[in-house]
Amino acid sequence: MLKKLFVISCLFIVCSCSSKKEILYMQDAEQFNNTTITYTNAPIQPNDVLRITISALIPESAMPYNKVSGTTGGSTIDIMQLEGYLVSENLTINFPVLGVLSVAEQTTQEFAEFLKSKLENDGHLKNPSVDVRLVNAKVTVLGEVRQPGTFNFTEQNITLLQALGYAGDLTINGKREDVLIMRDDNGIRKITHIDLTGSEWLDSDFYYVKPNDMIVVNPNNPKVKSAGFVGNVGTFLSVVSILLSTVLIISK
């Protein structure tokens, strides 16, 4: 009886342990050394909030094309979102003087160039400067990470690893070979699975996170096996210890 319990506990510990190949990130990263990085900008999507700033050589001439700030105390992200332009479901914004403008199939940079040309060609401003920023970009990270949640970012591009860094990195129970990413791409839902132990994803469309991406880190096999049984190895060993003690007392 004692021998059987000992064998069972040993097998459980062996099965619960994760191998080196299951834990280390990008184990073949050297083959991507000195390779070219392609920066991409995501197209503007419905419910995006754009901060648009127009300036000109004569500042007063650009005033009608800028929203008048109704708040004081700095320019935090929250304030910029409240004073920004909300993109409608039809991918339009209501811009001062110019009226309703379409942002369909345009990045923030492309829309800035379009707006600059329109202001010049329609005779509104001479040689204006146009800056367009997305101020409500966010990514949601769930599952086996230390701090799951939704995270805002202001950078034009952040990588998948940066997004996972916002969530405090994967726990030891996170399945690095199966990280799920769900993305809305021009009204089409796209779902992919990334293997972080390899490096092929560095050249994929999912190297950079896009606004509103959903990232789910699945639990690894030991975590799945322990769920609903005894929780963890420590608990299991405690149970085995109690059973062994009970058997010893009874057998005396």
Lowest-confidence segment of 18-27, 73-82, 187-196, 228-237 by average pLDDT: 228-237
The superfamily CATH assigns to domain 49-134 is wza like domain (3.30.1950.10)
Higher-confidence residue: 154 or 125? 125
Q: Model pTM? A: 0.75
Ordered by start, the domain boundaries in the chain are 2-13+226-251, 49-134, 137-224
- What pLDDT was estimated at residue 59? 93
pLDDT digits (tens, 9 = 90+) for 97-135: 999 999 999 999 999 999 999 999 999 999 999 999 999
Least confident piece of the model among 27-31, 64-68, 176-180: 27-31
* Secondary structure of the chain in HEC code, one letter for each residue: CHHHHHHHHHHHHHHHCCCHHHHCCCCCHHHHCCCCCCCCCCCCCCCCEEEEEEECCCHHHHHHHCCCCCCCCCCCHHHHHHCCEECCCCCEEEECCCEEEECCCCCHHHHHHHHHHHHHHCCCCCCCEEEEEECCCEEEEEECECCCEEEECCCCCEEHHHHHHHCCCECCCEEEEEEEEEEEECCEEEEEEECCCCCHHHHCCCCEECCCCEEEEEECHHHHHHCCCCCCHHHHHHHHHHHHHHHHHHHC
- Kindly state which CATH superfamily the domain 137-224 is placed in: Outer membrane lipoprotein wza domain like (3.10.560.10)
